[in-house]
Amino acid sequence: MSRVLVASDLDRTLIYSARALALTGPDEEAPRLLCVEVYQGLPLSYVTETAAALLAELAARTVFVPVTTRTPAQYARVHLPGPPPRFAICANGGRILVDGENDAAWSRRVERAVADSAPLAAMRERLLDGAEPTWLLKERVAEDLFAYLVVDRALLPADWLDETAAWAHDHGWTLSLQGRKLYAVPRALTKSAALHEVAARTGAGRTLAAGDSLLDADLLAAADRAWRPGHGELADQDWRHEGVTALEEVGAAAGEELVRRFLKAAAGE
């Protein structure tokens, strides 16, 4: 049988902050949780214990590849159930980790690919043009590849966002608002390109994927089968694509259901 590669986004797809868990019902009926990330000495991200058991089974049965917009350093804080994945895709496809180490050859290919977009310095300048301290909380650069802002979403001006998104589009960049973070990413920097590379290296015959944000859309479209949860940017926009199933579940319940779907699809169901 051909190998099955499972490529899944992490935040708000498989793992959840306390705020994003979206637990419903009485507290006494809440699922038991497993912390999978600690930041500055405090628990940050969780999966349910049911999802944890399913993830360990998934890692044993497939080539499981975490795919994230996180930098490698941010990804290193996440400890998923099961053995450490041989491959991980970080920085929105800008970095491929092999046994935890950056693949330098892939990084060089990415640098050539993003050269067609406006320089990162120009995109950062545009992001900060008109930004107000009332809603701009932080500004960061990731791996010298893309930038993001941490914002107070309720105070973020819609006209500023529209104008900045239009500028980004005209200069080869993509804007994506995910929770409190506004990402500016070169159009050539995609999770799907890294997925194809890892699939080729592992000899995968089938690819499965999941994700919740606009930056996951190309990943889902590139997989043989894919799913999105009932929350997130893609759900908000009612994004659809052939081969992509939209789940009704949200929060931690969606995380569990996604892993169940992966296992069934890997088994040929």
pLDDT, tens only, 130-158:
999 999 999 999 999 999 999 999 999 99
Q: What is the pLDDT of residues 55-103, one digit of tens each?
A: 999 999 999 999 999 999 999 999 999 999 999 999 999 999 999 999 9
Q: Residue 113's pLDDT band (boundaries 50, 70, 90)?
A: very high
More confident residue, 268 or 190: 190
Is 264 a residue whose pLDDT tops 90? yes
Share of the chain above pLDDT 90, in %: 96
Q: How is residue 31 annotated by DSSP? A: P
Mean pLDDT of 226-236: 96
Mean pLDDT of 193-200: 97
Give residue for tokens 């986004």: 9
Q: Residue 145 class from Cβ within 10 Å (0-12 exposed, 13-18 middle, 19+ buried)?
A: buried
CB 59 within 8 A of CB 83: yes
Which pLDDT value is given to residue 25?
Answer: 85
Q: Residue 2's pLDDT band (boundaries 50, 70, 90)?
A: low
CA distance 148 to 169: 16
Is 1 a residue whose pLDDT tops 70? no
- pTM value is 0.94
Which pLDDT value is given to residue 41?
Answer: 96
Q: What is the pLDDT of residues 5-52, one digit of tens each?
A: 999 999 999 999 999 999 988 999 999 999 999 999 999 999 999 999
Pairing mode, strands 244-246 and 225-228: parallel
Pairing mode, strands 225-228 and 204-210: parallel
Q: How far is the CA of 181 from the CAs of 2, 51, 106, in angstroms?
A: 38, 26, 26
Q: What is the pLDDT of residues 173-190, one digit of tens each?
A: 999 998 889 999 999 999
Token pair recorded at residue 143: 């791996």
Which pLDDT value is given to residue 136?
Answer: 97
Torsion of CA 211, 200, 116, 137, to 10 degrees: 30
CA distance 73 to 139: 17
